[in-house]
Structure 1
Amino acid sequence: MSERLNLENLLDNLSTAVLLLDEKLDIQYANHAAQSVFDRGFNLLVGCSVYQYIVHSSLDLDRFSTSSQHGEAFSDSEVQISFADGRHILADVSATHMLDGKSKQILLEIRLIQQQKKISQETHQWAQQQAARELVRGLAHEIKNPLGGIRGAAQLLEKQLVSADQKEFTTVIIEQSDRLTNLVDRLLGPNARPNFCWQNIHQVIEKICTLVSLDLNHDIKIVRDYDPSIPDINIDQDMIQQAALNIVRNSVQVLTENATPNAQIKIITRIERHVIIHGVTFPLCAKIQLIDNGPGIPTELKDTLFYPMVTSKKQGTGLGLSISQTLIGHHRGKIEVDSWPGNTEFTLYLPIDKKDADK
């Protein structure tokens, strides 16, 4: 080529975010993709430390300094990065040591994988959840049938007994059979068909806020951020209320058990376009975010969070989130979760149909 390529123009046309950091991890250069990732212009980024914008990362940022000191390059995949403005991303990150004269620098590359990862993860987890649910339902039916026989036999035996001391044993058998039957019914999940009608989603959410505020055992603040432009949605309001309430109650219990200072639950509603739900693209969805500032979900539970009997709470049954997923599934929707220390975010997606469309 007769003319030398403009290096800066080349970097600005990359889809990968590229930053140049000095030894103190102050930003010296950021291409257009990096400016987009950090949601800041070039002049606001240059001269500032990455710590000013990144408040949490699953990758230890001290590794950047180590890379600079020892001249080592490294890379890491599926790094979760949280920014000071509340945004968070999932990315592949690589750092390369550079020497410019006597000064050491780090070339940092960030490749966003959020959308691809979410679609792949959603498909995988949905298949696993469906398999686990079918397994549990099969076991539940096998358990429920003999339980009825045990209870009936205990009732017949109780009629033959005269001693009150002996009847106490049959009473225990009946009570425990009823308890197990109730648990099995919960494992089987909601069986009623949805009763669809056109509803304002904010009216449903406000009922949840009222229920939470009436609980005097906590002082958790509820913060609302509603989008009034969301149209009425064809839903079963009781099912949606139960699904969201299960999540909010989980947040209340976690915040209370951990004595989280300035505990709050934020409820945000927005319209989301072109949402992929289990392989189907919906042009318009209502997006409901339920966010708490608790300790976050343990890493080992994230992939199995919606499975029955999985919980991190001291006195939890592990059925609430599984039921919520089933209820939202009845509406062709989905639930996503993102969590890191200080932030747990459940996002409910509900397809918005045209009001003249018949289901």
Structure 2
Amino acid sequence: MLRKPSKEGAAVAALFSPHSVWDEFPNAILIVDYSHQMVVYANPVAEVSLDLSSKLLEGMSLHDLFGHNPELFQMLDAIKTEEVASQRQDLILNSGPARADHDPINAHVVVGALNHPDLLLIEWFPLEQQLRSERDDRLVQQVEANKTLMRNLAHEIKNPLGGIRGAAQLLEYELPDKALHEYTQVIIKESDRLQSLVDRLLAPHRKAHIDDFLNIHEVLERVRSLVLAEFPSGLKIKRNYDISLPDLLGDKEALIQAVLNVVHNAAQALRSRIEQGDAEIELTTRVVRNVTINKQRYKLALDLHVIDNGPGIPDEIKDKIFFPLVSGKEGGSGLGLTLAQTYVQQNYGFIGCTSKPGTTDFQMQLPFRLKTEGK
């Protein structure tokens, strides 16, 4: 049941809207009226976390919101009865009648006193978010270290490689027996192949052209047409777009290549299902609010998912798929996902992946920025 806020509660609630300092907080915030056991204010992150609007939350009883949650209510009681400034612990925020169709939230919760006799603050962030942030930070550091290593290695290979190719050409010109040209051609062709590999290693380190706005769905449609041209039968690429998304400031060609690498990688993993005719890739776009990407906070970001129904990524390489020269398929160069990660990072974004047999989900997040940001 929803309770109507008291006149005092309504007056207090007015202090928190519409442009409260709490709105800028990166974690979910509820201000609660302890006497009436109800919510008087919810910030935008809390709205997203609870999947309820502030209009519904404000005036809602804590029991309707969180159901049977003795640990949370004990924390609230401790602030009032023991007169301590704050309480914090990891706990499960259960789903009450108002959230009966939602999963509980595994979170680190802080309850604190405010400068008002009846008001308390409840703040939380999902523990999965913390674990993901720590994992993403480690991955970024590892990718950066590997990029530096590969760039240096590529430069060391490039110079002697040109000498080898040139010497093979001179040798071919001097050889009297044309039958021996077969061997010099092997040297020349393999040198060219290595040169192409080196160029691919160096390519992402060139400066991105992030100077114009683009429609992400035009990028996805281009990728979709390219992949379906290569796999004309047996593969279905579903669109699940939010067409209301604003334009994105970014390097269009780099993002086409990044998404193409991810989608093409998924198609390669689906070869057996393509032969059976039931391979499927889903492209999903949504907007997310108040997210942290590469330690930078953004109010709005693109949340793009590339989901396939393939066999999943082998466990032994699951944590290394963005590293150079790591490939899950025979004959793969192991550069596609590395380059995708690099191109997305150049556009201030990030790629992550979750995988299990039957479902692999590559998630890209890219901030919606102004031209003046990041300069």
Whether TM exceeds 0.5 here: the answer is yes
* Aligned residue among 119, 123, 135 for 2:149: 135
TM-aligned CA deviation for residue 280 of structure 1:
1.3
Question: Partner letter of residue 297 of structure 1?
Answer: I
TM-aligned CA deviation for residue 172 of structure 1:
1.7
Aligned to 2:278: 262
Aligned to 1:67: none
Question: Partner letter of residue 238 of structure 2?
Answer: V
> Partners of 1:89 and 1:338 in 2: how far apart?
19
TM-aligned CA deviation for residue 356 of structure 1:
7.4
Counting aligned pairs with the same residue, the percent is 41
User: Is 1:206 the equivalent of 2:196?
Assistant: no
Aligned to 1:238: 253
Aligned to 2:132: 118
* Aligned residue among 238, 248, 269 for 2:263: 248
Question: Partner letter of residue 204 of structure 2?
Answer: P
Question: Partner letter of residue 305 of structure 1?
Answer: I
TM-aligned CA deviation for residue 222 of structure 1:
1.4
> Partners of 1:356 and 1:298 in 2: how far apart?
42
How do 1:34-53 and structure 2 match up within 5 A? 34-35=94-95, 41=100
How do 1:59-70 and structure 2 match up within 5 A? none
- Partner SS for 1:231: coil
> Partners of 1:317 and 1:191 in 2: how far apart?
18
Task: Give CA-to-partner distance per residue, 1:3-49, whole Å, 9 cap, x none.
Answer: xxx9945156489xxxxxxxxxxxxxxx983438xx962xx79xxxx
Aligned to 1:95: none
User: Is 1:146 the equivalent of 2:146?
Assistant: no
Aligned to 1:319: 335
Change over 3 Å in CA distance of 1:12–1:358 after alignment to 2: closer
User: Is 1:162 the equivalent of 2:176?
Assistant: yes
Name which of structure 1's ranges 159-168 and 266-275 shifts more when overlaid on structure 2.
159-168
Aligned to 1:33: 93
* Aligned residue among 353, 357, 360 for 1:337: 353
> Partners of 1:211 and 1:175 in 2: how far apart?
28
Task: Give CA-to-partner distance per residue, 1:121-163, whole Å, 9 cap, x none.
Answer: 1111111111111112211211111111111111222222222
> Partners of 2:329 and 2:340 in 1: how far apart?
17
Question: Partner letter of residue 124 of structure 1?
Answer: R
Change over 3 Å in CA distance of 1:287–1:9 after alignment to 2: closer
> Partners of 2:142 and 2:74 in 1: how far apart?
36
> Partners of 1:173 and 1:90 in 2: how far apart?
59
TM-aligned CA deviation for residue 357 of structure 1:
6.3
Contact 2:92/2:107 (<8 A) preserved: no
TM-aligned CA deviation for residue 295 of structure 1:
1.5
Unmatched segments (≥5 aa) in structure 1: 1-5, 16-30, 46-82, 93-110
Aligned to 1:80: none
> Partners of 1:118 and 1:129 in 2: how far apart?
16
TM-aligned CA deviation for residue 338 of structure 1:
1.1
Task: Give CA-to-partner distance per residue, 1:178-232, whole Å, 9 cap, x none.
Answer: 1111112222233443233111111111111122222345421111111122111
Contact 2:239/2:284 (<8 A) preserved: yes
* Aligned residue among 203, 206, 211 for 1:189: 203
Higher helix share: 2
Contact 1:226/1:269 (<8 A) preserved: yes
TM-aligned CA deviation for residue 257 of structure 1:
3.4
> Partners of 2:295 and 2:262 in 1: how far apart?
25
Change over 3 Å in CA distance of 1:354–1:183 after alignment to 2: closer
Question: Partner letter of residue 200 of structure 2?
Answer: R
Contact 1:14/1:33 (<8 A) preserved: no
Change over 3 Å in CA distance of 1:216–1:8 after alignment to 2: closer
Question: Partner letter of residue 271 of structure 2?
Answer: T
Question: Partner letter of residue 141 of structure 1?
Answer: H
Change over 3 Å in CA distance of 1:134–1:12 after alignment to 2: same
> Partners of 1:14 and 1:315 in 2: how far apart?
59
> Partners of 2:179 and 2:126 in 1: how far apart?
69
TM-aligned CA deviation for residue 342 of structure 1:
1.4
Unmatched segments (≥5 aa) in structure 2: 1-62, 76-90, 109-124
- Partner SS for 2:319: helix
Name which of structure 1's ranges 347-356 and 282-291 shifts more when overlaid on structure 2.
347-356
Question: Partner letter of residue 329 of structure 2?
Answer: K
Aligned to 2:242: 227
How do 1:10-25 and structure 2 match up within 5 A? 10-11=70-71, 13=73
How many residues are matched? Answer: 276
Contact 1:136/1:187 (<8 A) preserved: yes
> Partners of 1:183 and 1:242 in 2: how far apart?
16
Q: Please tell me the root mean square deviation across aligned C-alpha atoms, in Å.
A: 3.2
Aligned to 1:279: 295
TM-aligned CA deviation for residue 341 of structure 1:
1.7
> Partners of 1:338 and 1:89 in 2: how far apart?
19
Aligned to 1:347: 363
The TM-score, its normalising length taken from structure 2, stands at 0.66
Contact 1:13/1:32 (<8 A) preserved: no
Name which of structure 1's ranges 161-170 and 280-289 shifts more when overlaid on structure 2.
161-170
Aligned to 2:230: 215
> Partners of 1:316 and 1:222 in 2: how far apart?
23
